[in-house]
Amino acid sequence: MQTIDLATTPLRDMNAMLQSQAAQTNQTAWNIVNPKGAHAIAVGLDAPIEVTVSGSTGYYCGGMNKQASIHIAGSAGPGVAENMMSGTVVIEGDASQYAGATGQGGLLVIKGNASSRCGISMKGIDIVVHGNIGHMSAFMAQSGNLVVLGDAGDALGDSLYEARLFVRGNVKSLGADCIEKEMRPEHLEILRDLLDRAGADAKPEEFRRYGSARTLYHFHVDNASAY
């Protein structure tokens, strides 16, 4: 395992080392120590490497990730895994606001709680939160899956498109155009796979599914009050 100490190595140099790894690298395991809440740790990676961040991070850790598996042994600041394309990001602690924003692929696992706007504008990413999520989560979410083992805050799924939202706990309120939907067998299978991959101790049958009512796709005067 390669160890990078951010107490002695500049952040730019650390990211350059990780970003330079090729698809066939033999340096597949990396450990970043003394992160001390630094921003933009392990961003823009594009190789099948495993990166452990031994501590908590600031803004945008794991942003734009492709292929890499990133494990944060702490909590993460705003925008973790922002615009992720593939790979995995696992957070042992909590995540601040807009976790997984605009993510287009891959799996984000938050073992603690997530703050507001979790999964905002998600475009194909899968997000599993073991705890609770804050208000306006999955705002304008377009595709992918958001799984919440705990509770959801106000305005869940506001202005939602075609993403699937699964919540085991209580939902404080639903946003504009978000409604509860039938949980069909295919959704149970999707959920079972995501829970297994995220190491979540829960049964698919315990969840409810939410999605778009599809009334805001095109402007209609009868729906003007919802805009």
Pairing outcome for strands 143-148 and 164-167: parallel
When pLDDT is cut at 50, 70 and 90, the band that residue 124 belongs to is: very high
Handedness of CA 195, 200, 204, 210 (dihedral sign): negative
At 226 the pLDDT is: 63
At 58 the pLDDT is: 98
Fold category of 2-226 in CATH:
Pectate Lyase C-like (2.160.20)
Residue 195 CA, distance from chain mean position:
14
Count of CB atoms within 10 A of residue 130's CB?
A: 20
176-223 pLDDT, tens digit per residue, is 999 999 999 999 999 999 999 999 999 999 999 999 999 877 767 676
At 22 the pLDDT is: 79
As a whole number of angstroms, the distance between CA 111 and CA 131 comes to 7
For the chain, strand residue ranges (E) read: 2-5, 29-33, 50-54, 69-72, 88-91, 107-110, 123-129, 143-148, 164-167, 178-181, 208-212
Q: Which amino acid is at 199?
A: G
> Which whole number is the average pLDDT over 51-59?
98
> Which whole number is the average pLDDT over 146-166?
97
79-114 pLDDT, tens digit per residue, is 999 999 999 999 999 999 999 999 999 999 999 999
For 1-76, strand residue ranges (E) read: 2-5, 29-33, 50-54, 69-72
Asked if the model's pLDDT at residue 155 lies above 70, the reply is: yes
158-178 pLDDT, tens digit per residue, is 999 999 999 999 999 999 999
Give the CB-side neighbour count of residue 64, counting CA atoms within 13 A. 9
87: left (phi > 0), else alpha (psi -120 to 50), else beta? Answer: left
Q: Kindly give, in sequence order, each residue whose CB lies less than 8 Å from that of residue 91, ignoring residues fewer than 6 positions away.
A: 72, 74, 75, 76, 80, 108, 109, 110, 111, 112
When pLDDT is cut at 50, 70 and 90, the band that residue 129 belongs to is: very high
At 221 the pLDDT is: 66
As a whole number of angstroms, the distance between CA 27 and CA 179 comes to 47
Q: Mapping DSSP to helix (H, G, I), strand (E, B) and coil, where does residue 122 land?
A: coil
Q: Mapping DSSP to helix (H, G, I), strand (E, B) and coil, where does residue 212 land?
A: strand
> Which whole number is the average pLDDT over 48-63?
97
Q: Mapping DSSP to helix (H, G, I), strand (E, B) and coil, where does residue 12 land?
A: helix
At 215 the pLDDT is: 86
12-27 pLDDT, tens digit per residue, is 999 999 999 977 778 8
